Amino acid sequence: MAGPRAVWLWLCLSVPGAPGAVRPAPPCPAACLCASDILSCSKRELLTAPAHLPRYAALLDLSHNNLSRLRADWTGQRLARLHTLLLGHNRLAFISGEAFAPVPGLRHLDLSSNRLRALDELLFSQLPRLEVLLLYDNHIAEVDRSAFDGAAGLRRLYLSRNQISRFPLELIRDGAKPPELSLLDLSANHLKSLPLAELGLLPAWLRNGLYLHGNPLVCDCELYRLFRHWELRELSSVVDFREDLACSLPAPPAKRTVGVLGLGGPDLLNCSDFKECAVEAYLGDTLVIGCDARQRGAAREWVTPARERVPGQAANGTAAVLADGSLRIQPVRAEDRGTYTCHAVGEAFNETLYVEVTVYNFTQHRPHDTLNTAYTTLVGCILSVVLVLIYLYLTPCRCWCRGGDGPASHRGDSLSSSMLSTTPNHDPGDGDGKDGGAFDRRVAFLEPAGLGPGQNGKLKPGGALPGPEGLEGRRKLSDPDSVSSVFSDTPIVV
């Protein structure tokens, strides 16, 4: 009874396609060397990829061959385990938009030293796990704005030694770039200008891996301040390639290539230096200070000018560390001024950043408050000018009074006179009108007398001012519509 059972079991395990049958592993391609899940097919002068690659392949090396095209069916079957594909040093000039569909698990892709001229739309969109992409030493001149859409895991992108003349701004913009991108190598291309404003807003961990040396940049002071800032922060993209970071002076007669970091010298553009970590605030404001570390995900700790850790040991109670590592001071007080220190602790190295905070001893005006203040000041100035002009040019007369020890009756006559005449007042007893004494200037407020009923507060035409008894030469009042009556309540100089 045991014999037939043993024969039946042997047949089930040996017949292809039978339930429970053991499938033999496909043989290693003749043009490759296989070591477990590694297939090395390098330097075999292959024109196409080997057919029927084994499914267990995790690393496939096809570099240093003569491959010129990569079609959608180049693998022969789906290679779900493949995480590394090396295609460098071939003659690739065409890559199908579906070429990477059979290898969705790729994390490392090497396409360097080929003949690619453009990166078409959605070329790498089927590689969501891709982390490292090597595209250096090609002939790439055009990069479609959607070429890297879908490659959400991309961390390191090498595009150096190509012919790119437009900075791929879509790779660094928030919401458009691969969120994990930390290295972008654009060195040795044809870039003449850079989006300086956008680059200045990048976090330090991305600027640390943004390589721009070896491009024919045009010199200006904004470019100098950008890279000078990066040098002060000791970013690798500038510190490691300081000598290769050059630009061309636009001044005639001949363009001259100089180092970008030397543009601050007096013999070149004499650009002003960059001042980092200076923050200004007003009393009552809410101030948020970022700790821009070179390492992404570094732990941050803040210390106040009083050497107190935030939070926990801060005595003022207005400072707090936010979830992203920024320091918030709310509300800002006068005692919050000083130098704040941020300690960033990362896996590779530690950093220390200093931020100088200046607090002004007044609150900042709102826009409408500033407008109202300016308007009030302008109206006040205009009114002052008008009053000065009235005093200088619309005063009806200038009366000269004789100084000295004259009779009291004469002095009273001088002060009580409301006649605004262009003829200077003389002492009645002085026949020739000359007086060797000093002149005396007096200010008097006129109070017209002789107002009768029905005159509406005006002096009677032809009326006379009351004066001391026996005073000769009583002065006549002017017409009520004259200038003297209009300004009867105005102080004048007599």
Answer whether residue 60 shows pLDDT above 50.
yes
Say if residues 281 and 332 touch (Cβ distance below 8 Å).
yes
Radius of gyration of the CA atoms of the chain, in A: 46
Query: Which range in 170-184, 203-217, 299-313, 320-334 is most confidently predicted, on average pLDDT?
Result: 203-217
CA distances from 360 to 95, 279, 364 (A): 61, 11, 9
Could you report the per-residue pLDDT of 371-405, keeping only the tens digit for each? 566 677 888 888 888 888 888 877 665 554 444 44
Q: How many CB atoms lie within 10 A of CB 346?
A: 16
Domain 278-360 is found in CATH 2.60.40.10: yes
pLDDT value of position 187 = 97
pLDDT value of position 24 = 59
Which runs of E-coded beta strand occur in 226-365?
Answer: 246-249, 256-259, 278-282, 287-289, 299-303, 309-310, 319-321, 327-329, 338-345, 350-360
Mean per-residue pLDDT over the chain, rounded: 77
Q: Residue 210's pLDDT band (boundaries 50, 70, 90)?
A: very high
For residues 302 and 312, what is the distance between their CA atoms, to the nearest angstrom? 11
Average pLDDT over residues 345-364: 79
Answer whether residue 78 shows pLDDT above 70.
yes
Say if residues 163 and 137 touch (Cβ distance below 8 Å).
no
* Domain range list for the chain: 278-360, 365-389, 395-494
User: Following DSSP, what letter does each residue of 2-38 receive, concatenated?
Assistant: HHHHHHHHHHHHHSTTSTTPPPPPPPPPTTSEEETTE
Would you give the DSSP letter of residue 476? B
Residue 120 CB burial class (10 angstroms; 0-12, 13-18, ≥19): middle
| Span of 23-37, 196-210, 452-466 with lowest mean pLDDT | 452-466
Could you report the per-residue pLDDT of 85-139, keeping only the tens digit for each? 999 999 999 999 899 999 999 999 999 999 999 999 999 999 999 999 999 999 9
| Span of 2-6, 14-18, 224-228 with lowest mean pLDDT | 14-18
Backbone angles phi, psi at 304, to 5 degrees: -80, 170
Show the tokens assigned to 286.
């809410």
% of the chain residues with pLDDT over 90 = 36
Could you report the per-residue pLDDT of 144-201, keeping only the tens digit for each? 989 999 899 999 999 999 999 999 998 888 766 788 899 999 999 999 999 999 998 8
For residues 402 and 414, what is the distance between their CA atoms, to the nearest angstrom? 9
For residues 261 and 352, what is the distance between their CA atoms, to the nearest angstrom? 23
Could you report the per-residue pLDDT of 467-487, keeping only the tens digit for each? 444 444 444 444 444 444 444
**Beta-bridge partners for 224:** none
Q: Which helix (H) or strand (E) holds 411?
A: helix 408-416
pLDDT value of position 408 = 44
Residue 419 CB burial class (10 angstroms; 0-12, 13-18, ≥19): middle
pLDDT value of position 373 = 64
